[in-house]
A and B are shown apart, each in its own frame.
Chain A
Amino acid sequence: SQTIHQWPATLVQPVGSPLSLECTVEGTSNPNLYWYRQAAGRGLQLLFYSVGIGQISSEVPQNLSASRPQDRQFILSSKKLLLSDSGFYLCAWSEREKAFFGQGTRLTVV
């Protein structure tokens, strides 16, 4: 069966520090991968999606970037965090129309 792993679960980072969140999927090949952010009162916002290695599409302009160095690995990064980057970040993979989510990372930028 397919599983998705996302880490860390919580992270507190100072403003201006770098960020790296990692997500891996097991049990499937060439999945579509996604990064979402849940901010207070704003639901689930799609940040990036990837349909293959090295293929990244951004949905919103922002201070973050994503990379897919391997088929089942998706990384969310930032060179310098802003206070507004705080939120709950979710990695997901999709099979046809359904998306399956990781456990999420609570990022607090202080």
Chain B
Amino acid sequence: DQQVKQNSPSLSVQEGRISILNCDYTNSMFDYFLWYKKYPAEGPTFLISISSIKDKNEDGRFTVFLNKSAKHLSLHIVPSQPGDSAVYFCAASVRYGGSQGNLIFGKGTKLSVKP
């Protein structure tokens, strides 16, 4: 059973437009959500996060929105740039017992930003 779902395996956007990447989760115990960016043959790098007590967090061109009632979060990138082309992973923090801090990842969405 997948607890974190990214239903779009790929997304193509024109440079300068907005990119919206979506993520759904099923576990209501999740209280921290993160987005990671991954280039081929490299490890993922942390991009932006949001606590469950907030519904929006913004960092430059990147904004994450959280809708707890819908168990949905999204990452907005505006304006999109060709260098943003990468695989984006959504992750949620599971907090219980000895696995505190473990992250559960979605399958990723490959973003292509075309010049």
> Which chain A residues have a beta carbon within 8 Å of chain B's beta carbons?
6, 9, 32, 34, 36, 41-46, 49, 51, 55, 57, 88, 90, 92, 94, 96-104, 106
Contacts and interface: CB of A to CB of B under 8 A. Distances in A.
B101 A94 contact: yes
A97 B107 contact: no
Interface of B: 6, 9, 32, 34, 36, 41-46, 49, 89, 91, 93, 98-99, 101-108
A46 B91 CA distance: 12
Closest 3 CB pairs of A and B: A101-B43, A43-B107, A44-B105
A57 B107 contact: no
A34 B93 CA distance: 14
A97 B32 contact: yes
A45 B99 CA distance: 15
Given A43-B89, A44-B89, A51-B98, A99 B103 contact: yes
A104 B107 contact: no
A72 B106 CA distance: 27
B42 A103 contact: yes
Contact of A97 (B42, B49, B105, B108): B49
A36 B43 CA distance: 10
Contact of B42 (A36, A45, A55, A104): A104
Nearest to B2: A43
Contacts of B41: 9, 88, 104, 106
9 contacts: A9-B41, A32-B101, A42-B107, A44-B91, A44-B108, A96-B101, A99-B103, A103-B42, A103-B43
A42 B2 CA distance: 10
Given A98-B46, A104-B41, A43 B101 contact: no
